[in-house]
Chains A and B, each alone.
Chain A
Amino acid sequence: MIAQHVSLLFDGFAYGMLLFVLSVGLSVTLGMMNFVNLAHGSFAMIGGYVTVTLMRNVGWSFFATLPVAFLAAAAASIVLERVLYRRMYRATDLDQSLLTIGIVFMSIAIAAYVFGTTQQPVQLPEYLRGRVIVGEFSFGVYRLFLTAAALVITGVMVAGLEYTRFGAQVRACVDNQRMARGLGLNVDRVFMITFALGSGLAGLGGALAIEVVGLDPNFGLAYLVFMLIVVAVGGLASIRGAFLTAALLGIIDILSKYYVPQVGSFILYLVMVGFLVWRPAGLFARR
């Protein structure tokens, strides 16, 4: 009985970690930069397709594809940022939404044209599949790996943004552009790099998520709602907030689906509404 609950809690936490790796990049672009980037899922999809293609057609190992997934999504985002996004930093939320949702639909059509509408199956190496059994408990190996990956990402991000010079620059540019510019910071460049970082994280998240959720051209849209929930409930601009919120939502979702499956899929949304009524700026908002 205890084993069963532990396993449920673990599944929920790991599901939260999945949500986290998918949405951490969004808490950078939407949260910190205040850009309504609905195309976040499309950058995640780039990462997914890079990983699948490299593994299947070139024969790379799963781990080797992860940095490439990050870089490919980051590179694609730099192109888009230079051409489109930077013109829209000061635009209204509605304009930003329209631009980015348009990009999502284009990305769906492009992916369907290039890769076909089919699911892209991936076979991970043996050591990432199956379960580890510890006494009477057992845990999915890939879920353990996801959890570890999420912890590493959180650690690197928090350290990078709060304890480095670049992190300070990013925060300065986001908080007060005019002042930052007056102090001689190259705001334009900082924004570009930050945006690339957020999109790269999306690509990495996409690559990590496909083992659990699968990959097809609709990816950019299918999980967008979950990504937005994590960022909105967690509070914009907070990596730690996104982490804790993702874990909390994952556990709530899994427990409610397990104990009351009849209404289980609604409870996540009810909880979201409740949290937002209670703390409109998000659970871990800084401001």
Chain B
Amino acid sequence: MRKFYVGIAALSTAVMLSLSPAQAQGTIKIGLIMSYSGQFADLGTMMDTAVKLYVKEHGDTIAGKKIEFIRKDSGAAGSAPDVAKRLAQELIVRDKVDIIAGFSLTPDAFATADVLNESKKAAVIMNAATATITTRSPFFVRTSLPLPAAMGSLATWATKNGIKQAYTMVTDYGPGIDSETAFHGAFKAGGGTIVGSVRFPVVSPDFSAFVQRAKDSKSEAIFIFVPGGTQPAALGKALAEHGITPKTTKILSSGELTNDEPLKSMGDAAEGIISGWHYSWTHKSANNEKFVKGFKEMLGGRNPDQFSVSAYDGMHVIYEALKKTNGNTDGVAFIAATKGLTWESPRGPVSIDPETRDIVQTIYLRRVEKVNGMLQNVEFDKLEKVKDPVKVVMKAEGKLNPDGTVKQ
């Protein structure tokens, strides 16, 4: 009998020994840091649903290894970026994740750069859109959008189409200032005049003072950037209420203002708003139709938005890079494998710039129009293969290292 017990013990030890390294080798852990709660909770919903959709469509094994997710809530982190940093540390040290992904907001991504540099783990930015984030660490790769690419394109288009004056309104934080700088730069370069500008706080229950300023400038055009979440609808309504509609003033904006919910809130007053952006669910392509259909099934009939498509493409980059490295998640090897990736996204053709690790994509110019009684963004022009203009300038001025990080 005693022999039997010893035998069992020996056997189970052997089984454990043989299993545990195999298991460690057999999984790839991805840590997702997103806003699942707070003012920007909806970004988390849209991004996470897209991640789940991608896994559902493409399976959860790559190179014989199972993909496993650990989700962390960065909360209302616009105000507390140190939360994202702490979460990244926890993910790497305690949960031993191989890759980090997500980043709903710019401050979260900035705060995490140091952690990546020390741990040499790769991170895929699925939303945070401030241009210079990718210059802070050679382990960042981005699948969303460097904002200046879209806002610069919009300004250039405006000046080419006879708009001479603009007043700009942006949210007072990284991406807002980025958008303002890009718009001002490209608009002036095209011969336009900026007649004034205003920045409003991230939390702002009433926009009437800012809207009144814009109105009093009597500018021919108004440019607007607001982050997703609660603000676009509130600002849209304030504009309509003060009689600023595309009928009286040209309204140029980023894509947030013309997502589904703000359009529903604004109603017909939104008809004619022009936006420069990388994605709308109405984009016409077979790829996108499939994506929209799959997404709607997963999220109770809601259409995907820019946050969803960026997260979906982020998963694509993770899967393709891991295929190339045969499951090796080492930061250096993984990032090398992402460089130059080119694919057909639901938003159109995209690629990862090998020099900056940032996405290169088509920027569409869209006008809000009524299609079958429903307000939608209708694409009417596009600029292809748009790179981040900020990093193009930085590179020309010799401020970038060969790995795309900023020289100290």
Contact = CB atoms under 8 A, between A and B. Distances in A.
A binds B: yes
A54 B38 CA distance: 25
Nearest to A126: B267
Interface range, B side: 35 or more
B287 interface: no
A14 B38 CA distance: 27
Contacts, number: 119
Nearest to B36: A117
Given A218-B39, A222-B203, A118 B302 contact: yes
B89 interface: no
Contacts of B208: 11, 14-15, 140, 254
Interface stretch (B115-123, B181-189, B232-240, B391-399): B232-240
B198 A142 contact: no
Nearest to A10: B208
Given A140-B241, A140-B242, A261-B213, A18 B230 contact: no
B302 to A, nearest CB: 7
B256 to A, nearest CB: 11
A130 B206 CA distance: 16
A139 to B, nearest CB: 10
B237 A254 contact: no
Contacts of A7: 212
Interface residues of A, number: 45
Contacts of A129: 240-241, 267
A104 B58 CA distance: 39
Given A7-B212, A119-B261, A261-B200, A213 B41 contact: no
B59 interface: no
A217 B229 CA distance: 11
Contacts of A217: 41
A122 B230 contact: no
Contacts of B204: 265
A265 B241 contact: no
B205 A261 contact: no
Contact of B261 (A4, A118, A143, A265): A118
B243 A254 contact: no
Contacts of B230: 119, 213-214, 216, 218, 222
A257 interface: yes
Contacts of A119: 42, 229-230, 233, 261-262, 265
A154 interface: no
A8 B206 CA distance: 12
Contacts of A261: 198-200, 209-210, 213
B212 to A, nearest CB: 6
Nearest to A255: B209
Contacts of B229: 119, 216
Interface string A205-216: 000000111101
Contacts of B267: 123, 129
Nearest to A226: B205
Contact of A11 (B212, B234, B265): B212
Contacts of B264: 121, 123
A97 interface: no
Contacts of B38: 218
Given A112-B41, A117-B41, A214 B206 contact: no
Interface in A213-261: 213-214, 216-218, 222-223, 226, 253-255, 257-258, 261
Contacts of A214: 230, 233-234, 265
Interface of B: 37-39, 41-42, 44-45, 76, 198-201, 203-206, 208-210, 212-213, 216, 229-230, 233-234, 237, 240-243, 261-262, 264-265, 267, 300, 302
Interface of A: 4, 7-8, 11-12, 14-15, 18, 108-109, 112, 116-123, 129-131, 138, 140, 142-143, 211-214, 216-218, 222-223, 226, 253-255, 257-258, 261-262, 264-265
10 contacts: A112-B37, A119-B233, A121-B264, A212-B234, A217-B41, A218-B37, A254-B208, A255-B209, A257-B210, A265-B204
